[in-house]
Amino acid sequence: QVQLVESGGGRVQPGGSLRLSCVASGRGFSINVMGWYRQAPGKERESVARISSGGTINYQDSVLGRFTISRDNAKNMVYLQMNYLIPEDTAVYYCNAFGREIGQVYDMNYWGKGTLVTVSL
């Protein structure tokens, strides 16, 4: 089983910055796409940013120019640098990995438990 553990959440004032990190661990796996999703209170989970193993990146429009996703394939880690945070960014942020363990035929989604980001005065 691939396990994902996030870190770096917290409370920050509007205009501030936070950096989220996520590490994947397990026995014998490969990950195609890693990314970050978020879920605000009363809303559905949404994609924030994703990065493929080859470096292709997609961002949600609302975070373009403010958030930067990066990945260290050797360490099985993905990061999300969040700048110019606004209250609307308040949510639980989840790390996601789309990949497979040795012996699996298809890729599947793996999820971390989430880390809370609160943007407020």
Each residue's pLDDT tens digit, 83-119: 999 999 999 999 999 999 999 999 999 999 999 999 9
Residue 118, Cβ neighbours under 10 Å: how many?
Answer: 15
Tell me the DSSP string of 76-95: TEEEEEE-S--GGG-EEEEE
Spatial neighbors of 48 by CB under 8 A, at least 6 apart, are 35, 36, 37, 38, 59, 60, 63, 67, 80, 93
Q: What percent of the chain has pLDDT over 90?
A: 97
